[in-house]
Amino acid sequence: MRSTVFIAGRLLGLASLAAAFVSPDGTGRLPAMGWNSWNEYECNINEDVFITVARQLVALGLKDLGYQYVNIDDCWSDKEQRRDASTNELIPDAQKFPRGIIKTAELVHSLGLKLGIYSDADLKYDNCNVPSEWADEYEYTPEGPGSNAPAGYDWGTSNTAKRYRAMGDALQRQNRTIQYSLCAWGHAHVEQWGNTTGHSWRMWGDIMPAWKGKEKWSWGLMPIVNQASLFWESTNFGGHNDWDMLEVGNGNLTLEENRSHFALWCAFKSPLIIGTPLDTMRESILDILSNRELIDFNQDPVYGASAMPYKWGNDRPVGTSDMVHPAAFWVGTSIKGIHVFLLNTQDTAVQMRAVFAEIPPLQAAAGDEFLVHDMWTGKDLGTSKEYFELEVKTHDTAALRITMVDGE
């Protein structure tokens, strides 16, 4: 049986949606769903961690919801021996994987799941005399001052893009379909070339379980949401902006912050990769990660685009960059209707109003009667012709589905 492997390549620094990296069996058409070890375990991994996760994905019903990848992140290889002398293959750490990665893969596959593994496209330098031709001619980092490239520069010709493309080409030559996730952190304008090379691409620095702010190279949720408000157009079928793995259930995030995190990642059509221990997970966290209506939006088979910000709030102009109070009003379309996400970035509960005449997909039908449905509870909230208003708790996100009363 042909299987699918999730490969995450962490590289330094890649596109028209029409040229998306399409796999013949549909792999990568929709955002990937699964679990990854890094957020919780970092380098403290072993075979037992992944076997436990695989069994929990099945036992908790997460596999049935679409979570199918069990991803081994960094620190799985032997840092001393490095490579097999005859095959040049990387050698697994025998202390962590005494039966080898292949045995872990067999056990994961036996549960109907798929195994993923991490690699790195960075270059190892043994001295500081790095040839200039190895580096990119121009630089762009999303957290930095901008790009020094001339207007119209093709970032797909950068050395960063070439390194990722070399791995993508090699993966396509294999006798199985492989999901390829790029980790360029948004460098070298990966959103311009990523979907010709892989199925998803990281767009920002590493995530941490905090509402806002930055620590070292890791960022809280709001700076990432802010970046998503500026680059939402890069996502569609076969190619997805990756806003990093989920921190739902980690750190000191409140229940409402966990809800916002999951709802927005679903809205952005980001890969949904759980990063919390499944065997000790609270029921409230499982409820969030199991929300069928939000997952269905993320995995919609007909509408592949990310939700878009249609209003920033507080009378700010469209396109405002704000890492503390990013765009608060989002809208997206699915086969089930129009979905509106109202994000409360304030430190108190606020009344938030979805005015139908302001929502692009509803403007043509302004004045008609709409049914408003709560995607969190699965209950209808009532009908209205002009707007719907509700209280949103501090740092929470209301997730609403809006349809015309007559069903059209």
Q: Which residues are known catalytic residues?
A: 126, 206
d(CA 201, CA 239): 8
8 Å CB contact between 65 and 286: no
Q: Which residues pair with 219 in a beta bridge?
A: 207, 214
d(CA 21, CA 194): 8
4: its two tokens: 């699918």
d(CA 160, CA 168): 13
8 Å CB contact between 40 and 276: yes
User: Residue 398: which of 351, 342, 352 has the closest Cα?
Assistant: 342
Helix, strand, or coil (residue 292): helix
d(CA 330, CA 39): 27
d(CA 393, CA 146): 35
**Residue 141 phi, psi dihedral angles, 5° rounding:** -125, 135
8 Å CB contact between 222 and 260: no
**Residue 264 phi, psi dihedral angles, 5° rounding:** -75, -40
Counting Cβ atoms within 10 Å, is residue 92 exposed (0-12), middle (13-18) or buried (19+)?
buried
8 Å CB contact between 114 and 4: yes
61: its two tokens: 């019903």
**Residue 122 phi, psi dihedral angles, 5° rounding:** -65, 165
Where are any strands of DSSP class E within 292-343? 308-311, 329-334, 337-343
d(CA 12, CA 404): 47
Residue 263 identity (one-letter amino acid): A
Name 125's Cβ contacts closer than 8 Å, sequence gap at least 6: none
d(CA 222, CA 213): 8
